[in-house]
Amino acid sequence: MRSLTVFGTMFIGARLLFANTIKTYGGFRVAIVSFFCECVGLLLWLAAEPTFALAGAAALSIALAVCAGWAWGG
């Protein structure tokens, strides 16, 4: 349950903080950084330690939020 809370909170925070990153840096650069952030997040999410799993959920949600901003046009 805590991982879903971290995921949602970080997703909303990233959407608010990084709203203009695609316009500023371009879609390809943002997509590459988001891809690596998602890979790290997924690897951490599989960790046995709960702290690392929460960090993975945070990293994954930030990457998805930035890419979602591109996909949703915002």
pLDDT digits (tens, 9 = 90+) for 29-61: 888 888 888 888 888 777 788 888 888 888 888
CB 30 within 8 A of CB 70: yes
CB 42 within 8 A of CB 62: no
Strand, helix or coil at 71? Answer: helix
Residue 58 phi/psi, 5-degree rounding, is -65, -45
Counted domains in the chain: 1
> In sequence order, which ranges of 20-49 are alpha helices (DSSP H)?
21-25, 27-45
pLDDT at 16 over 70: yes
Residue 58, token pair as written in the block = 């945070």
pLDDT bucket at 69, cuts 50 / 70 / 90 = low
Per-residue pLDDT, 70 = 61
Per-residue pLDDT, 71 = 60
C-alpha–C-alpha distance, residues 29 and 47, integer Å: 28
- Note down the domain range covering 35: 2-71
